[in-house]
């Protein structure tokens, strides 16, 4: 029974060793302790089968001894593997953080410095553990310390990476919400100081304050709320402007007697306009815009509204004495009739200019898109040979 117990112990050590050994690339069959343990385990089994229990006991004990050595070797290799893997991960995270500018960004440079110090500390312990002649009892604590340092370094690098990414998102949100609020005011969709303006401004200010305090989650939350409200108000304003155009078109149809000459089309337009109003009142803005546009399209065949078409595109010209620029173009009466609305043009076309953050640099012959200001129809490219109704004279603007 003792021999069987020893054989079972030896087998258990081998199973444990096999489990650990699967974690590294070193071939199991090249490990000298494993090979000897297996040989003596086979000898013990053979001696036992032949009834030579004393010899079997001797071989089993030797198999157990070598199995323990194999297990110790496996543990050593395992912790080396963990230390190496932790080092590679820490190095990759540190490099990524640096590539993103975490080492120089005022918001993240302290985090990066901490991560770098922890990585360097881990490397010191790893190098000591790898010195020749050092035993398992000495190397294991060093490797454990190295792993802890590398894991801490990865954690701080990841925090720096997340912060850098958050900063980029928040910077964009601040820019978008500030511009979005200005566009709402420029288009007259809200008024300066009204409840919508105050609410959006409050959210933006709270977002910027949280940003300054490095409360990035709160900053994104405030600014995202502001962005959502701006989008909703923009759609509401567009829907109201388009409904007003459709309403004016139907009134013009009345004046021209379309209700008598083409009653079917007139009745269709009237029904659509009523439905567009219901949708508008129920905040179904897209549905309202679709129906308002159908009203305009239905009445367009009678020449209603056709004279109010303005250019959708403008080709930048080299003029004298004052060359084209965003403010000058915005001031043209076929654009917005107001130079202070130049930012609307800039936001719609900044991806076309050489330096997206420099609105003063635009190129001759660049084709500039002119976004609709209050739902006015815009088609084609501006021609100096064509007369356009000034935007301020178009009904509904």
Residue 8 shares a structural domain with residue 114: yes
Residue 23 shares a structural domain with residue 154: yes
Residue 222 shares a structural domain with residue 333: no
User: If we measure between CA atoms, which residue out of 278, 280, 264, 269 comes closest to residue 246?
Assistant: 269
Residue 132 shares a structural domain with residue 178: no
Could you say which of 127, 142, 161 is where a domain stops? 161
pLDDT tens per residue, range 136-184: 678 889 999 999 999 999 999 999 999 999 999 999 999 999 989 988 8
Residue 150 shares a structural domain with residue 7: yes
Element (H, E) at 314: strand 313-315
Residue 20 shares a structural domain with residue 88: yes
Could you say which of 139, 161, 183 is where a domain stops? 161
User: If we measure between CA atoms, which residue out of 364, 317, 374, 368 comes closest to residue 347?
Assistant: 368
DSSP strand pairing (313-315 vs 367-369): antiparallel
Assign 336 a pLDDT band (cuts: 50, 70, 90). Answer: very high
User: If we measure between CA atoms, which residue out of 243, 237, 238 comes closest to residue 269?
Assistant: 243
Q: Domain residues for 173?
A: 168-234
- The C-alpha atoms of residue 128 and residue 139 are separated, in whole angstroms, by 8
Could you say which of 276, 304, 332 is where a domain stops? 304
Residue 21 shares a structural domain with residue 157: yes
What tokens does 223 get? 């600014």
What tokens does 258 get? 């379309």
Residue 312 shares a structural domain with residue 241: no
pLDDT > 90: percent of the chain: 51
Assign residue 107 a region (left: φ > 0; alpha: ψ between -120 and 50; beta: otherwise). Answer: alpha
- The C-alpha atoms of residue 159 and residue 265 are separated, in whole angstroms, by 64
Residue 124 shares a structural domain with residue 261: no
- Regarding pTM above 0.85, the answer is no
Residue 266 shares a structural domain with residue 284: yes
pLDDT tens per residue, range 228-256: 999 999 999 999 988 988 998 899 899 88
The pLDDT, as a whole number, for residue 147 is: 94
Domains in the chain: how many in total?
Answer: 4
Assign residue 380 a region (left: φ > 0; alpha: ψ between -120 and 50; beta: otherwise). Answer: left
Residue 60 shares a structural domain with residue 119: yes
User: If we measure between CA atoms, which residue out of 22, 23, 59 comes closest to residue 44?
Assistant: 59
């Amino acid at each position: 029974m003792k021999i069987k117990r020893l054989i079972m112990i030896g087998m258990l050590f081998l199973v444990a060793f096999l489990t650990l050994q699967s974690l590294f690339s070193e071939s199991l069959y090249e490990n000298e302790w494993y090979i000897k343990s297996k040989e003596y385990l086979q000898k013990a089994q053979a001696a036992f089968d032949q009834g030579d229990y004393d010899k079997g006991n001797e071989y089993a004990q030797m198999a157990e001894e070598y199995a323990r050595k194999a297990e110790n070797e496996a543990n050593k290799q395992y912790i080396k593997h963990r230390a190496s893997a932790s080092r590679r991960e820490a190095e990759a995270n540190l490099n990524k953080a640096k590539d993103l500018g975490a080492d120089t960004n005022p918001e993240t440079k302290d985090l990066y410095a901490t991560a770098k110090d922890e990585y360097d500390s881990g490397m010191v312990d790893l190098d000591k553990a790898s010195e020749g002649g050092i035993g398992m009892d000495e190397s294991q604590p060093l490797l454990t310390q190295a792993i802890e340092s590398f894991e801490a370094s990865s954690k701080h690098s990841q925090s720096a990476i997340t912060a850098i990414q958050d900063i980029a998102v928040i910077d964009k949100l601040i820019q978008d919400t500030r511009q979005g609020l200005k566009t709402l005011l420029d288009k007259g969709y809200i008024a300066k100081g009204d409840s919508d303006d105050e609410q959006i401004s409050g959210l933006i200010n709270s977002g910027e304050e949280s940003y300054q305090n490095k409360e990035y989650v709160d900053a994104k939350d405030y600014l995202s709320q502001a962005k959502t409200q701006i989008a909703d108000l923009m759609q509401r304003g567009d829907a109201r402007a388009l409904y007003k155009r459709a309403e004016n078109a139907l009134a013009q149809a009345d004046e021209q007697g379309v209700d008598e000459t083409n009653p079917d089309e007139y009745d269709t337009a009237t029904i659509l306009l009523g439905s567009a109003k219901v949708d508008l009142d129920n905040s179904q803005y897209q549905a309202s815009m679709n129906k308002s546009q159908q009203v305009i399209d239905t009445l367009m065949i009678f020449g209603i509204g056709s004279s109010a078409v303005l250019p959708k595109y403008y080709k930048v010209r080299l003029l004298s004495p004052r060359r084209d620029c965003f403010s000058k173009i915005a001031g043209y009466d076929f654009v917005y009739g107001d130079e202070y609305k130049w930012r609307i043009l800039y936001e719609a076309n900044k991806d076309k200019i050489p330096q997206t953050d420099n609105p003063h640099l635009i190129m001759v012959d660049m084709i500039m898109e002119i976004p609709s200001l209050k739902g006015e129809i815009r088609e084609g490219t501006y021609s100096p040979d064509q007369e356009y109704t000034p935007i301020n004279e178009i009904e509904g603007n």
